[in-house]
């Protein structure tokens, strides 16, 4: 099976869906002529032309609102945010318009948009460029939220996201763009709302998503080899809709849970998960649900210190040992 990068996986998904459906349009800042700020859309302009791959001026509220409006007529825009941090410039368009137009019209309208781009810290770009807003997005009924961790997941989920008739927020990661993994050449899709057990184990469930999956898998290796702790890593893949059943099945097996998330702690995705797990699997728990999150401050710039602000394998290891102690 071919081994490709996460970046290529996203690009292939875009190309396949552009090929499949003439209503799909890719738009965003530098996506066309510049070949993408992170080279995700490299080559697409040459292949599909300027009608399908559209460079937008820096005006997130304008072009995302425009995409939402066009989607009401059946266009399927896949709009790139150069950083998901920039979503706040278009907050009203995403979370008042895209999220609510169906409801406010009593179901007469739907907005089949995808907004995609990198949402992550870890690149020393400071407090305004390091947001991971999956919790904020998932708090709004009407939108769906996807955070893939591997090339295989990214491609299959993006294809599903583009075909989805609801607004889908697709959160990538600049640090994951270079990560490689096996991706079949044959076409496949991964449905939204299906978690994936990335590693089986019996002593501890780590529930996580995005880049923290990789940190958790590294920590799991150490926990197995050096501490004789068998860890099951559940990758949510989709935040909303949420596959809580896979999480609960794992909890019922291991009886201990550590949530690992690149999120500021207050009202994070993990906060919602913890409520659901203790509500639905209280008697299966042998310890309080633990959670490792980003250290609660704006994203620091200083490179070595930022590493310690975010989840990393050592921090996951420490939190896991505390959970099984």
Partner 1 sequence: MSKKPTATAEKKAEAPTGGDFSKAPVNASLSREERIELYRKMVRIRRFEERSLRAYQSKKIGGVLHLYIGQEAVAVGACSLMGKDDHVITAYRDHGHAIAVGMDTKPLMSELYGKATGCSKGKGGSMHYFAPELNYWGGHGIVGGQIPLGVGLAYGLKYKGLKGAAMAFMGDGAVNQGAVHEAYNLAALWNLPVVFVIENNGYSMGTSQARSSAGELAKRAAGYDMDWGQCQGHDIYEVRATMDKFLRLAREKSRPATVEIDTYRYRGHSVADPDNTYRSKAEIEEYRRTKDPIQLFQNQLVSEGVLDEALIAKIDEEARSEAELAAEYAEASPFPTVDDIQKDVYWEADNPSQRASKGRLFFD
Q: Using CB under 8 A as the criterion, which residues of the chain lie in contact with partner 1 when the complex forms?
A: 25, 51, 56-57, 59, 61-75, 92-93, 96-97, 101-110, 112, 141-142, 144, 160, 163-166, 189, 191-195, 238, 240-245, 272, 276
Selected catalytic residue, list 129, 131, 140, 227: 129
Cα 249 to Cα 253: distance, rounded to the nearest angstrom: 6
| Cα–Cα distance for residue pair 107/7, rounded to 1 Å | 36
Report the distance separating Cα 181 and Cα 318, nearest Å.
Answer: 28
255 belongs to the catalytic site: no
Shortest spacing between CB 272 and partner 1, in angstroms: 7
> Quick one: which of 315, 48, 29, 266 has its CA closest to 139?
266
| CB nearer to partner 1: pick between 51 and 185 | 51
Q: How far is the CB of 169 from partner 1 (least distance, A)?
A: 13
Nearest alpha carbon to residue 320 among 293, 290, 277: 290
Task: Write down the least CB distance from residue 162 to partner 1, Å.
Answer: 12
- Of residues 92 and 308, the one with the C-beta less far from partner 1: 92
* End-to-end Cα separation, the chain, in angstroms: 41
Nearer to partner 1 by Cβ, of 3 and 61: the residue is 61
Cα–Cα distance measured from residue 242 to residue 239, given in angstroms and rounded to the nearest whole number: 5
Strand duo 144-146 + 238-240: pairing? antiparallel
Least distance to partner 1 from the beta carbon of 188, Å? 13
Smaller CB distance to partner 1: residue 54 or 175?
A: 54
Q: Closer to partner 1 by CB, 137 or 324: give it.
A: 137
| Full DSSP string of 272-312 | HHHHHHHHHHGGG-SS--EEE---SSSPP--HHHHHHHS--
Instruction: Read off the tokens for 16.
Output: 């396949």
The neighbouring-strand residues paired with 172 are 118
Residue 123 Cβ, how far from partner 1 at the closest point, in Å?
A: 27
Measured in degrees and rounded to the nearest 5, phi and psi for residue 67 equal -60, -40
C-alpha angle with apex 266: 264 to 271, nearest 5 degrees?
A: 100
* Residues belonging to the active site: 129
């Amino acid at each position: 099976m071919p081994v490709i990068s996460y970046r290529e996986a996203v690009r292939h998904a875009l190309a396949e869906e552009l090929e499949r459906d003439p209503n799909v349009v890719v738009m965003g800042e530098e996506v066309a002529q510049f070949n993408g700020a992170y080279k995700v859309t490299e080559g697409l302009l040459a292949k599909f032309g300027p009608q399908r791959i559209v460079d937008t001026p820096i005006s997130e509220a304008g072009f995302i609102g425009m995409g939402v409006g066009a989607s009401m007529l059946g266009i399927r825009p896949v709009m790139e945010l150069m950083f998901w941090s920039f979503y706040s410039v278009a907050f009203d368009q995403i979370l008042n318009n895209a999220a609510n137009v169906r409801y406010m019209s009593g179901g007469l309208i739907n907005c089949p948009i995808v907004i995609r781009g990198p949402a992550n810290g870890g690149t020393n770009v400071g407090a305004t460029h390091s947001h991971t807003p999956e919790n904020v997005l998932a708090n709004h009924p009407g939108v769906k939220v996807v955070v893939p961790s591997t090339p295989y997941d990214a491609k299959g989920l993006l294809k599903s996201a583009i075909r989805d008739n609801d607004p889908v927020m697709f959160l990538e990661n600049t640090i994951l763009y270079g990560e490689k993994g096996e991706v079949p050449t044959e076409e496949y899709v991964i449905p939204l709302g299906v978690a994936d057990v990335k590693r089986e184990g019996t002593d501890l469930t780590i529930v996580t998503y995005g880049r923290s999956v990789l940190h958790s898998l590294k920590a799991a290796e150490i926990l197995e080899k050096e501490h004789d702790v068998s860890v099951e890593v559940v990758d949510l893949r989709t935040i909303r809709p949420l596959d809580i059943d896979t999480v609960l099945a794992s909890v019922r097996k291991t009886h201990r849970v550590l949530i690992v998330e690149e999120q500021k702690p207050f009202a994070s995705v993990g906060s919602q998960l913890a409520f659901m797990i203790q509500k639905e699997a209280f008697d299966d728990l042998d310890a309080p649900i633990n959670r490792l999150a980003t250290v609660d401050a704006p994203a620091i710039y200083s490179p070595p210190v930022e590493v310690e602000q975010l989840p990393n394998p050592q921090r996951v290891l420490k939190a896991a040992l505390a959970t099984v102690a």
